[in-house]
Amino acid sequence: MEDPAAVESDADSTVGDPTAGLDDILNLDLEQLGKVDVVVPSMDVEVTSVTRTESTVGRSPAAVFVITPEMIRRSGATCIPEVLRMVPGMEVARINASQWAITCRGFNGRYNNKLLVQIDGRSVYSPIYGNVLWEVNDVMLQDVQRIEVIRGPGSTLWGSNAVNGIINIITKPAKDTQGLLIHGGAGTEERGFTGVRYGGGAGSDLNWRVYGKQFDRDGGSVPQGNSADDWRMAQTGFRADWTPNRSDAVTLQGDYYTENAGRTVYDFLATPPYEQHIEDDGRLCGGNVLGRWSRDLGKDSNWTLQLYFDRRERHYSTYDQNCNTLDVDFQRQSSLGMCQKIVWGAGYRYWDNIFNVYDGHAFNQSVDPNARSNNTFSYFVQDQITLRDDLLYLTVGSKFEHNEFTNFEYQPGARLLWTPDERQSVWAAITRAVRIPSLVEEDIRIKIRQIPMGPPPPMFVQITGNRAIESEDLLSYEVGYRAQPSDRFSWDLALFYNKYVDIIGFVPDPLGFPLPLVWPWVSENALDGETYGGEITATWQFNPCWRVTGSYSYLQMQLHKYPGIAADPAMLEYPEGESPHNQVYFRSSWDLARTWMLDVALRYVDSIHSSQERGVVPSYTTMDARLAWQPTANFEMAVVGQNLLDRRHYEYFFTDVVPTEVDRGVYATVTLRR
C-alpha cells in the first residue's frame, strides 16, 4: 500500500513548479493528478542571451522565445531547422533535402546575412556569404538544454550581423548526460538515423560525454523525375566539464562531421542550349574545438575566457572552399553599488578562406582574389541600471569593432523594462546594428542567369563584387508586453519598426556592356527601406494532460532604390517577396493516458516570391503529428508523421539550385536510456 504522505509530497513537488512539464505529470496517478495545480512555464524560464547574464524571460527586455528539451522531443523534429519552425516570427523554408533559408523579420534567403547563430558560444556564420550553412551545423538533439531565440537586433552585445535576430543553441552540461543513450529510427524520408551517447565521470569534479550520430535522408521531389539531393551525414563529438574548486569551471568540447549533400545546380553555357543541370554531390567535412574557463568572484562578480578553432571544407564539382576561424572572447561582470550591474568584454576573431573554381566552370563563378583573410577586434560594455527596485530597469551599452572590410563600427542600444508585478513585464528598445559586407559582395564574379529564359539569343547577368561598398545600417524600434494572468495561461506580444539604410544590392554597372550578350551588374549600397510587424503567442494549459500553444506573425517590407540607381524592378521585388507576410502556428500536446502522448502541430505560411526565374512559391498549410509510448522514464517509442496534409509542396525557390518539393513522410523511432 502506498504511503499517503509520499503521495502528498510527490504532488506538492509539482504544484507551482514552473519547470514541471508534461513528462513530470506522467509519473503521477489519478489521485495525485487531482492535487496538481499546473503552472505554464513562461516568465521564469532561464535565458542568458539578452544581456549576457543569467536572467529570466520575464526580466528580459527583448522578444525572446526559449525552446526546451521537452518541446524538442515532442515536436518530432530531426534537426535544428525543423525545431525552429515553432518560434513565432521565424521564417523557415526548406530548399532541398539539406539546404535551408532561415531568418526572422525579413530578408530571408539561402544567403541570409542578418541572423547570428551560436552553438555553445561558437558563432557559426560563413564569411564567404555571411550566412549560416545549416547543413553543417548540427547537434545531437537529446543533448540540447535549451535554444534561445531573440527576434530583433542583438548587436550591442554580439556585434555585426546580429541584425534581425540571434539563435543561441546551448547544450547540457556533461553531468546532466551521464550513462548510456541509444536513439534510432527509420521511415520514408528519414531513411535511417542513429545516435549513441555515453557519459561518465571521475569523482565529483570531472564529468564527460562522447557521442556519435548519423543519418540518411531521401531527396525531395522534382517534376522532371528523380531528384539528386539525398543527404548523408556522420558526426561525432565530446564534452568534458571540470570544476576543480567552488570558484572555477573549465569546459573542453569538440565536434567532427563528414557528409555527402546532393543537389542539382544550374550551369549556364555560352552556346546552345545555354543552360544545363548538373548533379553535384558535395563532400563536406569539418570540425571544431572549444575551451572555456569561468571564475566566480562572488557578489555578482565573475569572468569568462573562451577560445575556439573551427575548420570547414566544401568540395563540389564546381568549386572547393576551405575556411579556418580562430576566436577569442573575454567577458567580465561586476556590480557597481546596489543599483548597477556592469558587463564588459573584448574579443578577437581571425578567419582565412580559400575558394578555388574548377576548370570548365570559370565562366559561371570565380573569386578574385581566391584567398583572403580578416582580423576583427571588438569591445563591448553594458550597464544594467535599477531605476526602481523590482519595478523599472534601464540597460544601455554599445559594441565597438574594427574589421578589414569597413574598418570601425559602433552599435549602441538602450532597453527599458517595467515589471509592475511578477506576472507582467513591459519593455521597449532602440538599437543600431550593422551588417558588414561578405566576400561574395566584395570579390565575386558570377553569371547567374539568362534574360529572357527562352530561345536565342540569351543575355547573361554577370555580377561583380565591389570593395568600395559600406556596411548596412539598421535603426530598430521595438516594444513588447508579456503576461501570465493565471498559472495556466500566458501570452506574449512584440511589435517592431526597422529602418534600413545602405542595403547592399546588385545593380546594373553604369559602364555599360563590355562583352556581347553579357549584362554587367555590380554590388552597391543601393537601397533603403522599412520593415514593420509583430508576433503574438499564447500558451494555455487546459488541464494537467492537455496544453495548447498558438502564434501569429505579420511582416511588411518596403524597399526604395537610391536616386541615380538604374535598377531592374526585381532588385526591389525579390527581397520584399522572400519573406511571408503572414504565418500561423498551432500546437496541441495531449497525454492520452499514463504512458501515451499525442502531439499535433499545424502551420500556415503565406506565399513568397524568391526567384525571378522560378516564380511564386504558393502558400501552404501542413501538419505534423507524433504518437509516443513511454512505459518507463528510460524507454520510449514514437511514430511521427510530417507534412501530412498534402503529398508534397515547395517552400522556397533558390536561383542557383534546382528546387525540390518537401514530401510527406512517416518514420518510427526508439530511444533507450541506461
DSSP labels, 171-236: EPPGGGS-EEEEEEEEESSEEEEEEEEEEEEETTTEEEEEEEEEEEE---BBTTB-----EEEEEE
pLDDT digits (tens, 9 = 90+) for 257-293: 999 988 877 776 666 766 777 777 889 999 999 999 9
Band of the pLDDT at 30, cuts 50, 70, 90?
Answer: very low
pLDDT digits (tens, 9 = 90+) for 97-153: 899 999 999 999 888 899 999 999 999 988 888 899 999 999 999 999 999 999 999
Q: Rounded to an integer, what distance in angstroms lies between the CA atom of residue 607 and that of residue 585? A: 15
Nearest Cα neighbor of 278 from 267, 294, 292, 262 is 267
Average pLDDT, integer, range 303-309: 98
Enter the pTM of the model: 0.91
Identify the weakest region by mean pLDDT among 88-92, 224-228, 378-382, 535-539: 224-228
Phi, psi (5° rounding) for residue 33? -60, -35
pLDDT digits (tens, 9 = 90+) for 61-109: 999 999 999 999 999 999 999 999 999 999 999 998 899 999 999 999 8
Give yes or no for residue 347 having a pLDDT over 60: yes
The torsion angle over the Cα atoms of residues 519, 522, 525 and 526, rounded to 10 degrees, is 0
Q: Rounded to an integer, what distance in angstroms lies between the CA atom of residue 503 and that of residue 139? A: 33
Nearest Cα neighbor of 526 from 570, 493, 475 is 570
Strands 275-279 and 620-632: unpaired
Strands 518-543 and 460-464: parallel
Grid cell listed for 101: 533559408
Share of the chain above pLDDT 70, in %: 86
Average pLDDT, integer, range 440-450: 75
Q: Rounded to an integer, what distance in angstroms lies between the CA atom of residue 598 and that of residue 588? A: 8
Residue type, 145: Q
Give yes or no for residue 355 having a pLDDT over 70: yes
Band of the pLDDT at 43, cuts 50, 70, 90?
Answer: confident
DSSP labels, 250-294: EEEEEEEEEEEE--EEEEE-SSTT-EEEEE--EEEEEEEEEEEEE
Identify the weakest region by mean pLDDT among 34-43, 245-254, 645-654: 34-43
Average pLDDT, integer, range 585-593: 95
Strands 648-649 and 615-617: unpaired
Which residues 6+ apart lie within 8 Å of 407 measured at CB?
none
Q: What is residue 57's three-state secondary structure?
A: helix
Mean pLDDT across the chain, nearest whole number?
A: 88
Q: What is the end-to-end Cα distance of the chain in Å, rounded? A: 28
Q: Rounded to an integer, what distance in angstroms lies between the CA atom of residue 137 and that of residue 131? A: 12
The pLDDT value given to residue 490: 96
Average pLDDT, integer, range 324-352: 95
Identify the weakest region by mean pLDDT among 113-117, 180-184, 256-260, 464-468: 464-468
Contact between 101 and 654 (Cβ < 8 Å): yes
Q: Rounded to an integer, what distance in angstroms lies between the CA atom of residue 640 and that of residue 626? A: 4
Contact between 665 and 187 (Cβ < 8 Å): yes
Q: Rounded to an integer, what distance in angstroms lies between the CA atom of residue 199 and that of residue 180? A: 7
Domain boundaries, the chain: 40-527
Residue type, 600: V
pLDDT digits (tens, 9 = 90+) for 523-549: 899 899 999 999 999 999 999 999 999
Q: Rounded to an integer, what distance in angstroms lies between the CA atom of residue 114 and that of residue 103? A: 8
Other residues' Cβ atoms within 10 Å of the Cβ of residue 443 = 22
Grid cell listed for 195: 545516435
CATH of domain 40-527: 2.40.170.20
pLDDT digits (tens, 9 = 90+) for 475-525: 999 999 999 999 999 999 999 999 999 999 888 877 766 566 677 888 899
Contact between 155 and 165 (Cβ < 8 Å): no
Q: What is the CA 508 to chain-centroid distance, rounded?
A: 33
Give yes or no for residue 666 having a pLDDT over 90: yes
| 3-class SS letters over 103-118 | EECCCCCCCCCCEEEE
454 or 110, which is more confident: 110
Contact between 104 and 65 (Cβ < 8 Å): no
Grid cell listed for 645: 496534409
Strands 444-450 and 248-261: unpaired
